[in-house]
Chains A and B, each alone.
Chain A
Amino acid sequence: MRRTRAAAASAVTVSLLAAVTACGGGSSTDGGSNDSPKTLTYWASNQGPSIEADKKILTPELKKFEKQTGIKVKLEVIPWSDLLNRILAAATSGQGPDVLNIGNTWSASLQATGALLPWDAKNFGKIGGKDRFVESALGSAGETGSDPAAVPLYSMAYALYYNKKMFEDAGIAGPPATWDELVADGKKISKDDKWALGAEGANLSENIHHVFVLAKQHGADFFDADGKPDFTSDGAVAAVKQYVDLMGKDKVIAPGNAEYAQNQSLQDFAKDKTAMVMWQTAAATLKAHGMSDDEWGVAPVPVQSGAPGADTAVNSMVAGINMAVFKNTDNVDGAMKFVNFMTSVDEQTILNKTYGSIPPVKAAQQDPAFNTPALKVIRDTLAKSAAPLPQVANESQFETAVGTAVKELFAEAAAGRPVTTASVKEKLDEAQQQMPKK
């Protein structure tokens, strides 16, 4: 009896202590240490068809690293739905991985938490220098004007995938180059339960990616030079309206797409129900849906006029995955070695080839595998006509606020209610007022 009571009491004390210390953690070991030089924990994002597939792809590479350096890497592949919350929890408690993948659009937001090791010249020196990386990819690795919070790992961009058979059936020779052409072609295709363009109307991030590009094409930005939200400029309103009008006014997007958020549009595309989708890397998923590579083509995402390029001819965001080191790692040297390994030309070639992405390391892009017609379009886009999403601390709030506004406007359009310049402006104004004051 007494023994059990003592055991229970000590258990309670220990857990109380644990809770108390966990709350206070996080700030003590600034800059990291080298207390456990033989192990690393790595949080990888889900890049392949499944978590299991990712483990299978990454494990042999991690074994190679272990052989070279004697450092054992504990791998955890984290689904996208959890990743940001897990990183936030890790930042709050200080109990995190040593090295982790982040979506590159989160770079500035996560940088603001101070949880990630800054990549100054000295740190970049340990992985072969800043110049090894493509410039646009580095541009999405942290707030403009400060040291990047992460290093680019995989790069991607949007392209227009089109269903060759549906184009043929509608008598259309090739993919549209401008939005006017897309709408004109779209009207030929959109009948008898077939539709021209797919959209993930309830997916906040997708909405953001598209209205961001359209805003660029209208000469507008969602944040001004001081990093203050500016959602209601004429250009931004026109951009959002143009995107939602593809469903409401032009009727080239099926109304049902307003509730899509789980890549249903790729399924429609593979089933010959939708002729075009704007997507980053769709090849593997299309194959999984039973579509062979020669049944679809890839073209640059349309622009307002002319050809894709800089400024108002931008036709994609810079998409991709960055690799960051947690500031309070207990193996900072090992973490550097690991980032160096993952960004080496060999590993970049192997991994990007497997995932269907583009290596952000210049030297690795020479491999012929990145020269297929589909990847060439994406590579050209990244090199010439992609712009990074706003690199400001409030980026994730922007995605939520404006992404939700676009989702609600799609719902209006899908229900057959008119979407006007005034109603778009009102929604964007509401979104802007929800942004933090500072």
Chain B
Amino acid sequence: MTVTAEPAVGKEAPPGATAPAPRRRTGRVRRIALPYLLLLPALLLELLVHLVPMVIGIVMSFKELTQFYIRDWGAAPWAAFDNYSLSVDFDAPIGKALLHSFFVTCAFTVLSVGLCWLLGTTAAVYMQENFRGRGFLRAVFLVPYALPVYAAVITWAFMFQRDNGLVNHVLHDQLGLTDSPSFWLIGDNSFVALLVVSVWKGWPFAFLIVMAGLQNIPKELYEAASIDGAGMIQQLRRITLPSLRPVNQVLVLVLFLWTFNDFNTPYVLFGKAAPEAADLISIHIYQSSFVTWNFGTGSAMSVLLLLFLLVVTGVYLVLTSRGRRAADA
């Protein structure tokens, strides 16, 4: 998913290689070239699968690509920045709806990533202790991550039904928490429903990654700390969290990108037209292109989203690695 800095391959010279003979040199060239050769197919496929569609998408965003032109979209007239100005004209309905959708997505992402991380880290820390049934619990916790998204979200959609759903049965019929059964799939509550499903689906990943990260923290640190009289909270603050920093850096970024771009969850939960309160940007763009057949505007919105995510990711990486370098120094 993310590229971490590997030590440059081929740099380390074998011990005693002070006087490189000509034969050795060709061997070295080969050794330097080999990784690139092996990477070449992957690079080409990456180009084909990711970059080419991206470039086509960018080209499309400058065209007036409606149903009149999709059959021969080379003939679609150039729209210059029309699609973009339509998307960012926040006084007109299309721009206003996009901005609204953007804010909804931001709020949703912050809450979902925060909760996923909190739940995952808490569970992982507690599961470090050795107790009976630990393996079983670990397996259970990972179930949401292992289930196919569609099957899981359809089940949630059933549970969120107003009249026959499990959620209202528990909240309203059994606990009596609400005066009347609430709607979860339409109206304002849909945001809560979406958040619940997203956190349920996402936190096992955080759990898994943090658990793996915890294995790398030497036990001696904790032993020394407890001899020095540090309590659990202090151990967590001074040892666990700082040691998890590199893991968290990647984890939060990946969770952020996945959540911000999540399409499956709202689509399966709400169908083609998500309620305003849960109108995530990916589904909004889908509706702006596929349902209304205006692929130019849809592409322009996608390009804007791409730029936003690039900027956020870039700033995030610069900030977090600068902090890390400072900490390392």
In contact, B186 and A407 (Cβ under 8 angstroms)? yes
Could you tell me how many residues of chain A have their Cβ less than 8 Å away from some Cβ of chain B?
Answer: 48
State whether the Cβ of A53 lies closer than 8 Å to any Cβ in chain B.
no
Residue-wise, chain A 13-40 has the 8 Å CB interface mask toward B (1 for contact) of 0011001000110110000000000000
Stretch of A88-96, A176-184, A362-370 at the chain-chain interface: A88-96
Chain A minimum-CB-distance residue to B270? A202
Whether B272 and A113, one on each chain, are in contact in the complex, defined by CB atoms closer than 8 angstroms, is no
27 contacts between A and B (CB under 8 A): A12-B41, A16-B48, A19-B48, A19-B52, A24-B74, A26-B71, A27-B74, A92-B70, A113-B68, A114-B72, A202-B185, A204-B272, A254-B163, A255-B162, A258-B183, A259-B183, A396-B291, A396-B293, A397-B293, A401-B292, A403-B273, A408-B275, A410-B186, A412-B187, A433-B92, A434-B93, A438-B66
Write the B22-53 contact mask toward A (1 if CB under 8 angstroms, else 0). Answer: 00000000000000010001001100100010
Residues of the B chain whose Cβ atoms lie less than 8 Å from the Cβ of A16: 44, 48
In the complex, what's the smallest C-beta–C-beta distance from A266 to chain B, in angstroms?
15
Other-chain residue from B44, B71, B185, B273 in contact with A259 (beta carbon distance below 8 A): B185
* Neighbouring A residues of B48 by C-beta, 8 Å: 12, 15-16, 19
Are A411 and B292 closer than 8 Å at their CB atoms? no
The listed residue (A24, A109, A202, A408) touching B271 by CB distance below 8 A is A202
Tell me whether A430 is interfacial, beta carbon within 8 Å: yes
Which chain B residues lie closer than 8 Å to A48 at the CB level? Answer: none
| In the complex, chain B residues whose CB is within 8 Å of the CB of A92 | 70-71, 73
Tell me if B161 counts as interface (CB < 8 A to partner A): yes
The yes or no answer to B294 lying at the interface (CB within 8 A) is yes
Closest to B168 in A: A256
Task: Determine the chain A residues whose CB is within 8 A of the CB of B293 once the complex forms.
Answer: 88, 109, 396-397
Q: Is B45's CB under 8 angstroms from A12's CB? A: yes
Asked if B276 is an interface residue, CB under 8 A from chain A, the answer is: yes
Contact B186 A393 (CB under 8 A): no
Residue count of chain B within 8 Å CB distance of chain A: 39
- Minimal beta-carbon separation of A32 from chain B (angstroms): 14
Q: Which residues of B contact A414 (CB under 8 A)?
A: 183, 186-187
**Most chain A CB neighbours (cut-off 10 Å) among B66, B73, B186, B276:** B186
Give the docked Cα–Cα distance between A137 and B277 (Å).
40
Task: Enumerate chain A residues within 8 angstroms of B66, measured Cβ to Cβ.
Answer: 436, 438
Assess whether B292 is in contact with A400, with CB atoms less than 8 Å apart: yes
In the complex, B287 has a CB within 8 A of chain A: yes
Please state if A112 and B68 are interface contacts (CB–CB under 8 Å). yes
Interface status of B251 (Cβ within 8 A of chain A):
no
Whether the Cβ atoms of A400 and B70 lie closer than 8 Å is no
**Given A19-B48, A433-B92, A202-B186 contact (CB < 8 Å):** yes
Interface presence of B67 (CB below 8 A): yes
Report which of B70, B271, B275, B290 forms a contact with A113, defined as CB distance below 8 A. B70
CA gap between A436 and B322 in the complex, in Å: 47
A-contacting residues, B125-171, CB 8 Å = 161-163
Q: Which residues of B contact A15 (CB under 8 A)?
A: 48
**Residues of A contacting B273 in the complex (Cβ-Cβ under 8 angstroms):** 202, 204, 400, 403-404, 407
Q: Is the CB of A415 within 8 A of B183?
A: yes
Select from chain B the residue with minimum beta-carbon distance to A437. B86
Inter-chain contacts of A12 with B (CB < 8 A): 41, 44-45, 48
Instruction: Judge whether B94 and A434 touch: CB under 8 Å.
Output: yes
A306 → chain B closest CB, angstroms? 35
B67 proximity list for chain A (CB < 8 A):
109-110, 112-113, 393
Whether A57 is near chain B, meaning CB under 8 Å from some CB there, is no
Q: Which of A86-132 contact B (CB under 8 A)?
A: 88, 91-92, 94, 109-110, 112-115
> In the bound complex, what is the Cα–Cα distance between A114 and B72 (angstroms)?
9
**Any chain A CB within 8 A of the CB of B56?**
yes
Asked if A258 contacts B290 (CB within 8 A), the reply is no
**Chain B residues in 8 Å Cβ range of A412:** 187
**Chain A, 354-394, contact with B by CB distance < 8 Å: what is the 0/1 string?**
00000000000000000000000000000000000000010
B94/A433 in contact, CB under 8 A: yes
A35 to B136, CA, bound (A): 62
Tell me if A411 and B71 are in contact (CB < 8 A): no
Residues of B within 8 A of A8 (CB): 41
Shortest Cβ distance from A96 into chain B, in angstroms? 10
A23: chain B residues within 8 A (beta carbon): 56
Minimum CB–CB distance for B236 against chain A, Å: 43
Name the residue on A nearest B66 (C-beta): A436
Chain A residues with CB under 8 A of B97: 434
State which residues 175-211 of B face A: CB under 8 Å.
Answer: 181, 183, 185-187
| Contact flags A179-204 to B (C-beta < 8 A → 1, else 0) | 00000000000000000000000101
| CB nearest to B64 among chain A residues | A438
In the bound assembly, the distance between CA atoms of A27 and B73 in angstroms comes to: 10
A68 within 8 A of B: no
How distant is B278 from chain A, measured CB to nearest CB, in Å?
12
A329 vs chain B, min Cβ distance (A): 14
